[in-house]
Chain A
């Protein structure tokens, strides 16, 4: 059963071939068997999931219509609030936080009949690229448990790669869906900014954050996007469907793009720290596309080398504002140590936040502070504009931009925890489209000789996910990486 794709499972449940309870019991068995090693989950919601599965089975057995994901076990990154269980964001600050409502995406998943099984581990408040910043425990890469799954949606990626669920949601602010997808050998999509409502997603960088699916196949990701995409009046940054309609992401997914023009980024080719095996797999993928009639065109993103610096000013500035709400007063951790109200804020925050979170809050506060705002934050926003223009201009010359997702394969646990800056530099290929808002997908394109997955990233213009999926599917249809998940 765990070799079925999400869509195959969904279809078998819809015809009564497999029951939703069968699928859920399989999930529970799988979690019991592998999660003590992988540690993808912060919480499992057996009762809630069971009652949803029972309900779906009743509906199907009595011939009632059910939704597009009916009976499919799904996991959520623990920064999407659910009114059941806790939502911790991987932080002591919210260790016991129990949300009073569901996130928009949770409502959509439930309405589609999905069975939400549990909440996945993550870097604290989505700040990190390895899942090692979780306040609770680290997640282990199912391909090699001495290595990281990537981050900050490392738990979601590992949950899918370990075949505990058929799909998971993650969030991506600087690459946090795509990089773990690449490290774990699964598909990960960051939709266009504004495509999916952020209502109920605990905010890190509000102009950068997007929720997206992690799945085994491109079609599975397309189905999950179909369910969660669309306008939500509760998120004022959610695009109106009259400005960008939600397309049918599946109907043409098997149709290749004739005369596909692929852009490869001149500035990426000179990247130091690009693992030769990753470069090789990337090239092999481009050769495959050429065989399918694509044309490879070198394009330039003249300001892309400044993307990481820009991001670490914009995102941290936004984070310093977004995390100001954690003051120990209304919810979250409150210190028991002091009496004076300012001390309550400082002590609660210092006790509740880990060091990476503190670092980013400090950096953001510095960049926004009086006297520094123009030189740092405003400057970064101007460079952001240049970066977006570069990507928009390139996408006028080509249909898509292709690059590796990450410069390396999954690194060993502890390898980068000493130097924050080293960790930040691994975002080089993913970060540009968070600044620009463009959609991007990571799909498996190789396995290294250390038996670690390699990911290929494809970028298309804003709100063209239907085309993005087709381009991704073109390559996926020539390989069987989706069947190569590790046997745990």
Chain B
């Protein structure tokens, strides 16, 4: 079972960087391990609190499932949606290959 006070390792940092889609240099990994380690040590104080009978509060307002009728309304045009694209191909966002050798 993971505890808050479990120390942070370099391997953890590399794993989290991969999940976050961040590529860090050697130096950044070292620095990040130290800094995140210190921050995690600080936040671990929450572990000392008994919260067994407390419900989590994700959201401050008593609003749930704010829904609307499933009716088409004006939205962004294709031009607007593509207007900041780094690369486009006609009506599409152009991206590197997703399938095939050397890909994800």
A contacts, CB < 8 Å to B = 96-98, 100-101, 193-194, 207, 233, 236-237, 239-240, 243, 303, 306, 308-310, 312-313, 320, 324, 327-334, 338-347, 349-350, 353, 355, 358-359, 361-363, 365-366, 369, 371-372, 375-376, 378-386, 388, 419-421, 424, 436-437, 462
Contacts and interface: CB of A to CB of B under 8 A. Distances in A.
Contact of A362 (B17, B47, B54, B102): B17
Contacts of A97: 84
Nearest to B76: A100
Contacts of B42: 308-309, 312, 421
Given A233-B68, A420-B39, 19 more contacts: A207-B58, A239-B61, A306-B46, A310-B46, A327-B21, A331-B86, A338-B96, A340-B104, A345-B21, A349-B21, A366-B40, A371-B2, A375-B1, A375-B3, A383-B51, A385-B54, A421-B39, A437-B61, A462-B60
A240 B96 CA distance: 44
Contact of B60 (A207, A308, A355): A207
30 contacts: A193-B60, A237-B59, A237-B66, A240-B63, A309-B44, A310-B46, A324-B21, A327-B21, A340-B96, A340-B104, A341-B104, A342-B104, A349-B22, A358-B22, A359-B35, A359-B39, A361-B22, A366-B12, A366-B40, A369-B16, A371-B2, A375-B47, A379-B4, A382-B57, A385-B56, A386-B49, A388-B60, A421-B42, A437-B61, A462-B60
Contacts, number: 183
Q: In terms of DSSP, what is the predominant structure of the interface of chain B?
A: loop
Interface of B: 1-4, 8, 12-13, 15-17, 19-24, 28, 32, 35-36, 38-40, 42-47, 49, 51, 54-63, 66, 68, 76, 80-81, 83-87, 93, 95-98, 102-104
Contacts of B56: 378, 381-382, 384-385
List of 6 A-B pairs having minimum Cβ-Cβ separation, nearest first: A437-B60, A381-B56, A331-B84, A334-B86, A236-B66, A385-B57
Contact of B19 (A313, A349, A369): A369
A328 B94 CA distance: 11
B87 to A, nearest CB: 7
A341 B96 contact: yes
Contacts of B84: 96-98, 100, 330-332
Contacts of A384: 56-57
B54 A372 contact: no
Contacts of B66: 236-237
Q: In terms of DSSP, what is the predominant structure of the interface of chain A?
A: helix
B36 A388 contact: no
Contact of A193 (B45, B46, B61, B85): B61
A97 B54 CA distance: 43
A327 B16 CA distance: 16
A100 B49 contact: no
Contact of B2 (A363, A375, A388): A375
Contacts of B57: 381-382, 384-385, 388
Nearest to A309: B43
Contacts of B60: 193-194, 207, 388, 436-437, 462
B75 to A, nearest CB: 10
A320 B20 contact: yes
A320 B21 CA distance: 11
